[in-house]
Amino acid sequence: MDIKTYIRTHEKEILEDLFSLIRIPSVSSAADHRPDMQACALLWRDILLKAGAERAEVLPGTGHPFVYAERHVPGAERTVLVYGHYDVMPADPLDLWDSAPFEPEIRDGRIFARGADDDKGQTMIQVAAFAYLVSEGLLRHNVKFILEGEEEIGSPSLEAFIESHREMLAADIILVSDTSMLAADLPSLTTGLRGLAYWEIEVTGPNRDLHSGHFGGAVANPALVLCEMLSKIVGPDGRITAPHFYDDVLPVPDAERAMVQAIPFDEEAYKKAIDVRALRGEEGYSTLERNSMRPSFDICGMWSGHTGEGAKTVLPSKACAKVSCRLVPAQDHEKISQLMADYICRLAPDCVSVKVTPLHGGQGYVCPIDHPAYKAAEASFTQAFGRKPLAVRRGGSIPIISTFERLLGIKTILMGFGLESDAIHSPNENFRLDIFRRGIEAVVGFYTKF
């Protein structure tokens, strides 16, 4: 049976499995979802066994458990390790979803749900391709799967797990489907990722919330101080102002900049899609360079004082922010984490005290485009999507890719099938069914060409 026929005849059961996974709200960042993490891991184990794994189990780590599965092919010369994650981002704000985030719904040819793309849907592409190859007797390589439950919180247990399972995870190449393509008609393979550093800042002024009438004007307002500090971190030229921040940032080679300029990009459509009148970023770089090849600074969350109903006249005791930097491959995330923490503390005036806590981080990555596995991926994408994929660097971070390279010495091919319109990490996350099907074809193609 060819892969197109296989998908047609098996799609209902593939989607049933995916929907069962989605219905488990495996939000890794919230302590009360711990039982869901375990349930989701167990369900993946069962699905992998059904797909053709000879061995599949849920293995404990220091945090949420791992799912490991494998199938050996007699005489195989190569081993492929597939990485995915079964945890998802929180679904809030819930009121912006058009359907319940953990009740998958198909509308307009798309699956709407938290995890529909990131990363339950994309991982299911890998598993479905594997099931096809097994059922048709076409599998030529050993295959291993490792799924973790902490990708969205920075994979705090993964490094220790890899270190204690080096032999089990040994492979020739790693496949990860957790990135996106430029567009449905513009297939691409991700060849670079940004690193990440993430901090929580707590500014404390007075030891309690004060009456803004009795103290206002005489006592520094910690929320205003936090605003002043944060507004100094990015200069008017869009560059991060911390000394030595750019020390390890290599200039983008002209050849790469030319390649980015060759990517068809409609800035008006980009603005319209997110509904902004104007864009903003580092001077001297285009939008596509800014969001992929250059570092960035963002406030991910911020809170202080009275955030409820009504007009409480209070001078808050504390103001907090969660902030992050996206880093480019040559920047060391631990060095930046320390450098920025020190800088933020130095920005604080005497009238407040400041605590900066690093929450997580990860290294950037660059993928070699002359690797045989990359060539195989390129050819399989060309076949599945009808067009040679562009090699592009992307702005997101998958810190574990560099961890795999550092600890196992294995390169990773980022076979991502997401689209910007999938709204991952946002309300109404979705995944196009036509892309889902072509993704399975592309992965099958990879195994036959590698």
Return the residues of window 378-437 that contact a copy of itself according to CB under 8 A.
394-397, 420, 423-428
264 touches a copy of itself by CB under 8 A: no
Tell me the closest approach of the beta carbon of residue 179 to a copy of itself, in angstroms: 10
355 touches a copy of itself by CB under 8 A: no
**Cβ count near 122 (within 10 Å):** 28
Among 74, 137, 217, 409, binds a copy of itself (CB under 8 A): 217
Alpha-carbon torsion (178, 19, 147, 359), positive or negative:
positive
Q: Between 345 and 423, whose beta carbon lies closer to a copy of itself?
A: 423
Known catalytic residue at 289: no
269 touches a copy of itself by CB under 8 A: no
Residue with tokens 């604080």: 348
**190 vs 378: CA distance, rounded Å:** 11
Known catalytic residue at 57: no
Tell me the closest approach of the beta carbon of residue 320 to a copy of itself, in angstroms: 8
Tell me the closest approach of the beta carbon of residue 238 to a copy of itself, in angstroms: 8
**8 Å CB contact between 433 and 111:** yes
Using CB atoms within 10 Å of the CB of residue 175, give its burial: 0 to 12 exposed, 13 to 18 middle, 19+ buried.
buried
Closest C-alpha among 326, 328, 330, 374 to residue 190: 374
- Of 35-43, 61-69, 353-361, 374-382, which segment contacts a copy of itself by CB under 8 A? 353-361
Residue with tokens 């971070």: 397
**8 Å CB contact between 410 and 162:** no
Closest C-alpha among 444, 448, 439 to residue 18: 439
Among 154, 416, 439, 445, binds a copy of itself (CB under 8 A): 154
**381 vs 420: CA distance, rounded Å:** 18
55 touches a copy of itself by CB under 8 A: no
Tell me the closest approach of the beta carbon of residue 431 to a copy of itself, in angstroms: 15
Q: How far is the CA of 241 from the CAs of 98, 247, 264, 295, in angstroms?
A: 40, 12, 32, 12
5 touches a copy of itself by CB under 8 A: no
**8 Å CB contact between 389 and 378:** yes
Using CB under 8 A as the binding rule, the residues of this chain from 23 to 52 that contact a copy of itself are 28-31
Among 12, 74, 280, 370, binds a copy of itself (CB under 8 A): 280
Using CB under 8 A as the binding rule, the residues of this chain from 122 to 151 that contact a copy of itself are none
What are the start-end ranges of the E strands in 208-250? 210-211
The DSSP-derived string for 280-293 is: ---TT--HHHHTTT
Cis omega (within 30 of 0) on the bond before 119? Answer: yes
Strand order in the sheet with 430-432: 105-107, 110-112, 430-432
**8 Å CB contact between 98 and 92:** no
Tell me the closest approach of the beta carbon of residue 20 to a copy of itself, in angstroms: 25
Tell me the closest approach of the beta carbon of residue 195 to a copy of itself, in angstroms: 10
**8 Å CB contact between 149 and 28:** yes
276 touches a copy of itself by CB under 8 A: yes
The site string for a copy of itself over 177-216 (x = CB under 8 A, - otherwise) reads ---x-------------x-x-x-x----xxxxxxxxxxxx
Tell me the closest approach of the beta carbon of residue 414 to a copy of itself, in angstroms: 13
**359 vs 219: CA distance, rounded Å:** 30
Among 74, 108, 137, 231, binds a copy of itself (CB under 8 A): 231
Among 34, 78, 257, 322, binds a copy of itself (CB under 8 A): 322
Q: Between 169 and 223, whose beta carbon lies closer to a copy of itself?
A: 223
Assigned token pair, 387: 């067009």
**8 Å CB contact between 181 and 389:** yes
Considering 17, 70, 87, 150, which one is annotated as catalytic?
87
User: How many residues touch a copy of itself (CB under 8 A)?
Assistant: 102
Among 203, 321, 336, 401, binds a copy of itself (CB under 8 A): 321
Assigned token pair, 207: 């030891």
Using CB under 8 A as the binding rule, the residues of this chain from 92 to 121 that contact a copy of itself are 92-93, 96
Considering 36, 118, 150, 151, which one is annotated as catalytic?
151
Among 120, 290, 393, 432, binds a copy of itself (CB under 8 A): 290
Tell me the closest approach of the beta carbon of residue 427 to a copy of itself, in angstroms: 6
Among 237, 309, 370, 409, binds a copy of itself (CB under 8 A): 309
Catalytic residues: 87, 151
